[in-house]
Amino acid sequence: MTNTQPSPAHLCGQLYATLHTLRAIGKRDRQLANDSFLDRAKRHPGPQLREHLKKAGEHLLAARTRGPKHGQAAGEVFRAIADFVPPNGRFPDYLDTKSQADFASGFHSQFGKYALTHDALFR
């Protein structure tokens, strides 16, 4: 049987997409997906994820003030955060080139799912 667990880098990419989506719904701010922010998060996910996790509650509350659709969507995204924390609860502070590609894959696959259902709420 093969191991189907995603790598820590992939999980970090999915978590970054989740935090980006929560911020976009709450604050209409999509800058975390800009190349410079994404490149920094790929290379050094630990500091970036810890910083943005601290702000997740603020973005949830901001989404709730934007209306019921925003609040409901943000609640779903907020609850998904726990799904993407690596099993050991630790985020790598640095990723090598191969792991950076895995992070990017996790980010793009997860953000693609969120964009399908929540894109209209980002505006």
pLDDT in tens, 1-37: 456 889 999 999 999 999 999 999 998 766 655 678 8
Distance CA 66, CA 84 (A): 26
Helix (H) or strand (E) holding 12, with range, is: helix 8-27
Does pLDDT of 98 surpass 80?
Answer: yes
Helix (H) or strand (E) holding 78, with range, is: helix 68-80
Q: What are the percentages of helix, strand and coil residues in the chain, rounded to 5?
A: 80, 0, 20
Mean pLDDT of 90-104: 96
**What confidence tens digit (pLDDT) does each residue in 67-95 have?**
999 999 999 999 999 999 988 889 999 99
Write b or e for each residue in 85-111: b if 16 or more Cβ atoms lie within 10 A of its Cβ, otherwise e: bbeeeebbeebeeebbebbbbbbbebb
What are the structure tokens assigned to 120, written together?
Answer: 């209209």
pLDDT band at 123 (very low <50, low <70, confident <90, very high): confident
Distance CA 7, CA 34 (A): 23
Neighbours of 113 (CB within 10 A): 15
